[in-house]
């Protein structure tokens, strides 16, 4: 059965947020501390080369998540294309002027960005383990995410992976996720975007954004989910005493599959508009209708392209 084309927004001048998920083809949990550290380093390096803002990430024992905002290339100067080329290949490498347009397109491509990350890590992993062959499973999943309320839900889902897996009690204790990187390194090198999806909270400065997001994250992580660990009431109470000040707790009740198995997620208007852009990708003859995400007011999803 032929692969379904990936949904990628190509409108000129339009930024787009994506949730990316990729899993290894190997059994068990092959990624240890060294592998996780290296994958973070590789993601950080390629994020300097590509026109991408990294909102969040989580590196787990057999897969990784990325929440990124890709920028279009129409506003990128020729000198900027050359600068990014030399970041990738080194200052000594001569830039092929005849391929200026090709590299402008590449540095704004989600597929090229994720491909470079996975290939570079595969080389590292295979050399370290003295092995050959495929490391990654099927091609990566990507979900188009509406910025604003939907984006902060998705970011929280990513940052809570280690808590839900029972690895840590507090999300920032896990250094291989975005909240851990923010807290443990002070966002070293400006790797991650500082807005944390919190503009709708009326927050401007980075320090307040981080505090507001942590409060949101802890309340989301304290909600019980079937067969999943959660942030305990004791830990939540401790953090509350230490400075959470939001008057209204926005509790998150969602089905995690919407953030990994939806083709598009956001408000009904956002999902309908994106569906119109990609109707040609679908094999079904009937119109697809946005489905409400249970437990999150105003959020809708479009099932993955492989579903009827």
Coil, helix or strand at residue 302: strand
pLDDT tens per residue, range 153-205 = 899 999 999 999 999 998 988 999 999 898 888 888 899 987 776 656 666 77
Domain ranges within the chain, ordered by starting residue = 147-252, 258-303
pTM listed for this prediction: 0.82
Contact 69, 16 (CB under 8 A): yes
Tokens of 247: 């008057």
The angle at the Cα of 33, spanning 29 to 38, to the nearest 5 degrees, equals 105
Element (H, E) at 152: helix 149-159
Tokens of 61: 């024992």
Beta-strand pair 262-266/16-23: unpaired
Answer positive or negative: Cα dihedral of 105, 108, 111, 117.
positive
306 CA to centre of own chain:
21
List phi, psi (to 5°) of 29. Answer: -120, 80
Element (H, E) at 49: helix 33-49
pLDDT for the residue 103: 95
pLDDT tens per residue, range 227-277 = 789 999 998 888 887 765 323 333 333 345 556 666 788 888 888 888 888
Contact 17, 56 (CB under 8 A): no
Closest to 108 in 3D by CA, of 53, 66, 55: 53
Return d(Cα 249, Cα 3) in angstroms, integer.
42
pLDDT tens per residue, range 66-125 = 999 999 888 899 999 999 999 999 999 999 999 999 999 999 999 999 999 999 999 999
């Amino acid at each position: 059965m032929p692969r379904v084309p990936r949904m990628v927004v190509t409108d000129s001048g339009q930024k787009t947020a994506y949730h990316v998920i990729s899993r290894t083809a190997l059994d068990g949990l092959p990624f240890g501390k060294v592998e996780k550290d290296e994958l973070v380093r590789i993601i950080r390096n390629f994020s300097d080369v590509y026109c991408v803002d990294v909102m969040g990430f989580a590196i787990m024992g057999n897969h990784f998540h990325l929440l990124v905002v890709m920028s279009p290339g129409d506003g990128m100067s020729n000198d900027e294309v050359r600068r990014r080329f030399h970041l990738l290949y080194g200052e000594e490498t001569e830039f092929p002027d005849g391929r200026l347009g090709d590299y402008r397109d590449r540095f704004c491509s989600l597929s090229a960005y994720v491909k470079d990350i996975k290939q570079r890590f595969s080389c590292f992993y295979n050399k370290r383990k003295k092995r050959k062959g495929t490391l990654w499973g099927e091609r990566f999943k990507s979900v188009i995410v509406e910025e604003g309320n939907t984006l902060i839900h998705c970011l929280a889902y990513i940052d809570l992976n280690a808590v839900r897996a029972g690895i840590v009690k507090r999300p920032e204790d896990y250094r291989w996720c975005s909240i851990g990187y923010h807290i443990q390194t002070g966002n070293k090198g400006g790797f991650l975007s500082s807005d944390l999806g919190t503009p709708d909270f009326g927050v401007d400065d980075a320090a307040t954004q981080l505090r507001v997001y942590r409060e949101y994250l802890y309340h989301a992580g304290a909600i019980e989910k079937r067969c999943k660990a959660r942030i305990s009431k004791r830990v939540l109470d401790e953090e509350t005493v230490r400075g959470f000040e939001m008057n209204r707790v926005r509790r998150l009740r969602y089905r995690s599959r919407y953030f990994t198995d939806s083709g598009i997620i956001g408000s009904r208007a956002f999902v309908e508009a994106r569906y119109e852009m990609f109707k040609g990708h679908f094999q079904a003859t009937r119109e697809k209708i946005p489905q409400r995400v249970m437990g999150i007011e105003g959020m809708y999803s479009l099932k993955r392209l492989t579903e009827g």
